[in-house]
Amino acid sequence: MGKGGNQGEGGPEREAPIPTFSWEEIQKHNLRTDQWLVIDRKVYNVTKWSKQHPGGHRVIGHYAGEDATDAFHAFHPNLDFVRKYMKPLLVGELAPEEPSQDRGKNSQITEDFRALKKTAEDLKLFKTNHLFFLLLLAHIIAMESLAWFIIFYFGNGWIPTLITTFVLATSQVQAGWLQHDYGHLSVYKKSRWNHIVHKFIIGHMKGASANWWNHRHFQHHAKPNIFHKDPDVNMLHVFVLGEWQPIEYGKKKLKYLPYNHQHEYFFLIGPPLLIPMYFQYQIIMTMIVRKDWVDLAWAISYYSRFFITYIPFYGILGALLFLNFIRFLESHWFVWVTQMNHIVMEIDREPYRDWFSSQLAATCNVEQSFFNDWFSGHLNFQIEHHLFPTMPRHNFHKIAPLVKSLCAKHGIKYQEKPLLRALLDIIHSLKKSGQLWLDAYLHK
């Protein structure tokens, strides 16, 4: 007799009927200690497994009680591999009468976006041009070599040192864009090779941590510009962003800093300090606290190589100052590029939108040119990157017209700006939010 215990002798075994759930029931499981989510109408209990998730437990928690289908497909190029881990987590499926989307999300936009992604796959826009990424790596190594040669040949005077600093800052920024590609699994078909090269570039070429980056950056992609979910808008009371936060701070009479002047002090504590002060400290402490010895070893290999190369020219103290000046310059470049696409857009609490709409609300583009592509690591195509994070960046310009068409069909604004205007809009946005805070602080 089979496991079911109620079949006739010799009859086929019957599988137990899979439980079905309503959205009302699923949405109750949105706590840190109780997390369910839905993928392709299947319901999964990820409470315990989330701690093992390679992208970090927080990114899964951000979708607890929701449909995570499009986010799941966006982040995982090798679905057959991932589904092996999902089978033990399955607890049921949506009841037949329940819609596929929760909280009234726009199902037509979702269907159209999935059709667009299928078109991109048919056009082979997820296929990598490996020569493109090889040339990017080669030009970074060439800059590293040139920097050493300048000091070796011309000496450690002020002019050679300044030139070398700008060359190394440029190589660091470009290495940052390149590790971003591998971190998003957008180069190789097999995730394993992306992870290996990612650790090499972010660790050995930048002195940072792949796991720290994964856990932070995937949260940003999953819920961009959402307070308490996107770490990139957690400004630790230094800045107030968007419209809701400054008004809330103003009503509650919160004044950690004079926010009506944040567009001015941004120049003093934003671009200059993010990497050399905040990120550098956070990365090192994260690796130590989490006992991430592999990433720490990679980071040590970067610092060892740097100091072995430049201590003979500058001494220990001089090499430390040299390194931090490079980080200082890199930080300016990084902050301006990464904020021009996001800080100027909607920043608010969780609105529970479909994937397509949520990404368009939080991102904008900068016009394409050879310089803009190189300068920003193709993050001038931030919209396309957020919609298709595993797409190789050299294909963003090919999918962009189709994204524009879908936006036009559904009346969604597709924002694209000149580079200078995008940079200036950062300051305008900070000034606007600061004024909202001041008005609420004084009058509400």
Q: Are residues 268 and 398 in the same domain?
A: yes
The two tokens of residue 297 are 């070893």
Cβ neighbours, 10 Å, residue 383: 24
Number of domains the chain is built from: 2
HSE-up (13 A, CA, CB side) for residue 348: 11
State the pTM of this model.
0.93
pLDDT averaged over every residue in the chain: 95
Q: Is residue 5 part of a domain?
A: no
- Is residue 1 a part of any domain in this protein? no
Predicted confidence (pLDDT) per residue in 109-139, tens digit: 999 999 999 999 999 999 999 999 999 999 9
Q: Are the CB atoms for 51 and 127 separated by under 8 Å? A: no
The reply to whether 13 falls in a domain is: no
Are residues 133 and 35 both part of a single domain? no
Residue recorded with tokens 């082979």? 124
Domain edge (last residue) among 57, 81, 104: 104
| pLDDT, tens only, 364-420 | 999 999 999 999 999 999 999 999 999 999 999 999 999 999 999 999 999 999 999
Q: Is 42 a member of any domain?
A: yes
Q: In this structure, are 246 and 309 located in the same domain?
A: yes
Q: In percent, how much of the chain has pLDDT > 70?
A: 97
Domain membership of residue 9 (yes or no) is no
Tokens of 338: 């990464």
Residue 8, domain member (yes or no): no
End residue of a domain, out of 50, 71, 104: 104
pLDDT interval class at 4 (50, 70, 90): very low
96 within some domain: yes
Q: What token pair was written down for 23?
A: 């959205």
- pLDDT of residue 143 exceeding 50, the answer is yes
Q: What is the pLDDT of residues 295-331, one digit of tens each?
A: 999 999 999 999 999 999 999 999 999 999 999 999 9
Handedness of CA 215, 372, 339, 264 (dihedral sign): positive
User: Are 202 and 327 within one domain?
Assistant: yes
> Which of 104, 123, 151 is a domain's end point?
104
For residue 84, the domain's CATH number is: 3.10.120.10
Give residue-wise pLDDT tens across range 161-208: 999 999 999 999 999 999 999 999 999 999 999 999 999 999 999 999
Domain span including residue 35: 20-104
User: Of 377, 371, 383, which Cα lies nearest the Cα of 341?
Assistant: 383
